[in-house]
Structure formats: structure tokens, C-alpha cells
Structure 1
Amino acid sequence: MIIKVKRVYEEAKEEDGERVLVDRLWPRGLSKEKSKIDKWIKEISPSNELRKWYDHDPEKWGEFKIQYFDELNEKRELVEQFCMEFSKQRVTLLFGSKELKLNNAFALKEYIESIIKISKKA
């Protein structure tokens, strides 16, 4: 699996592969037709409580990832289903935030890549 991360408002390109929205909320001002989103998996996005607490504060990034990874560990089956579904594909995780690096899509990419590494070693 090749994972890219991209802001949902950026132009869709063929090299994006499958475009998967990983935010809990639908992006503001974006129609479903214009977004070119192939799948929306809000179940593996951060909880509303965690999302609101984090509020894209760079000082909270480390703690946000710890708490988000804990949430993902509780949803491990869903994450593994995601990995199986896209295992032989290129996938682009889409996010709506104005924060371009310290967001849930980048954290999810890191989490998924750590799972893939662990499963390859096993």
C-alpha cells in the first residue's frame, strides 16, 4: 500500500489512487460531486471530544497522537479492514483542516504504516 495525504480542497489527480476522506465532519463548502471522494471513513477519525480538545494546537500534537492512537487501537479491526481493502493500491487520505501537517490524516498515515511494518515482521 502506498499512502499519500492531501487536503480535500486540492485538485484530484489520477496519481491520488483511491481518495478516502478520514475526517469526522464533511468539509465545509464542498459538494460530494466536486470532491471526487471515493470513500468516507469517519469511523477511524478522532472522536469529537479529541478533535475539539486538540483544535490543531501544535503544542498538543504529541499528546493528540498518543490519544488518537489509543482510539485507533480500540478500533483495530476497522483499521485492519482498511489496510486489507487498500493493500494493493495507492490511497490518498483526505483531510479538510487548514493545518497542513499536524492533522489526523498524517497521524493516521503514521499509525497505518506502523501496523504494516509490524505485520511484515511477523
Structure 2
Amino acid sequence: MIQCKRVYDAVEEGDGQRVLVDRLWPRGCRRESLQLADWLRDLAPSDRLRKDFCHDPALFDEFRLLYRTELAAHPEHWQGLLDIARRGTLTLLYAARQEHYNNARVLAEFLEEELDRQGPSSSPVCYADEL
């Protein structure tokens, strides 16, 4: 399962693996308080794309398209997140004020589609309950 959450929201037991997916460190946050599994700066939109978007909802569709293009070009940045999501809960953390118009939402959508595209794991353990 993949979910998105603002870094300023309280840590919850159901958060699972918490990964910060912003290029810049969020203002006023101490690393210890975020309880991060990882900070994946390279997974965030490029500086140019981030600055051009500037969290303007009117530009979100174009931002989504361009960010997805960046993601597709660098699977090495997000491939490991698929394994986390397959095993449990992955929480993508972001600092933006806009709950629906941010890079974490686009990334979650992208990862969910990739999980669907890849289908279930072919490991024999996955088929144990089907016998």
C-alpha cells in the first residue's frame, strides 16, 4: 500500500516505511522527529521542474506529465520503493501545503501503476495459498 502524508502531520503506527520525496529539506523539521526510513532527493522533481510548477494547481497537469517523464527515465531512483510497497505500507512524505497538487501524489500514482503493470511476484511463496 502506498500513501502520501505531509511531513508536518503526526507520525502514526500505520505509516510503515516513511520516505521523504522532496529535493529540499522541509523547513522547521528535525530529522529525528520525522522517523524516516530514507530521504530520496534524487527521486524528487528536478530543480527546474519544481521551480516552474511552484505548486500552482493550474500547472499541475503539465507538471504531472513532465515529472512522470523524469521518473520513467530513472527507474533506479524508485525501483526499491516497489518492494517496500509490496511488503507493507509505504508512506511518501512531502512538505507542500497543497494536499492534492504535489510531487508525492504523482509519484504514488506512478508507483501504483507500475505495481499493477508488473503484477504479482512470480516467487513460489506467493502461490502457496493457491495450491
Q: TM-score, normalised by structure 2?
A: 0.87
- Using the TM superposition, give the Cα deviation of residue 104 of structure 1 relative to its aligned residue in structure 2, in angstroms: 0.3
Equivalent-residue separation in structure 2 for 1:86 and 1:118 (angstroms): 14
Percent of residue pairs bearing the same amino acid type: 37
Q: Which residue of 2 aligns with 1:63?
A: 62
| Maintained 8 Å contact 2:17/2:84 | no
Cα distance between partner residues in 1 of 2:110 and 2:30: 29
1:85: how far off?
A: 4.1
Structure 1: which 4+ aligned runs deviate by more than 6 Å?
A: none
**Superposition deviation, residue 86 in structure 1:** 4.0
- 1:60-79 deviation digits (Å, cap 9, x = unpaired): 11000100000001111322
DSSP-derived class of the 1:30 partner: coil
Give unmatched runs, 5+ long, in structure 1. none
User: How far, CA to CA, are the matches of 1:49 and 1:20 in structure 2?
Assistant: 22
The AA in structure 2 aligned to 1:107 is V
The residue identity in structure 1 corresponding to 2:79 is E
Structure 2 portions without partners, runs of 5+: 121-131
Aligned to 1:46: 45
3-state secondary structure, aligned to 2:86: coil
Equivalenced residue count is 120
SS at match of 1:87: helix
Q: Read off the aligned partner of 1:116 and give its amino acid letter.
A: L
> Rg bigger for which structure?
2
Checking the alignment, whether the CA contact within 8 Å between 2:16 and 2:91 is kept in structure 1 is yes
Give the TM-score normalised by structure 1.
0.93
2:13 aligned with 1:11:
no
1:116 corresponds in structure 2 to 115
> Could you say which residue in structure 2 is the equivalent of 1:20?
19
Structure with the greater relative contact order (CA < 8 A, sep ≥ 6): 1 or 2? 1
Distance 1:92 1:85, change over 3 A: closer
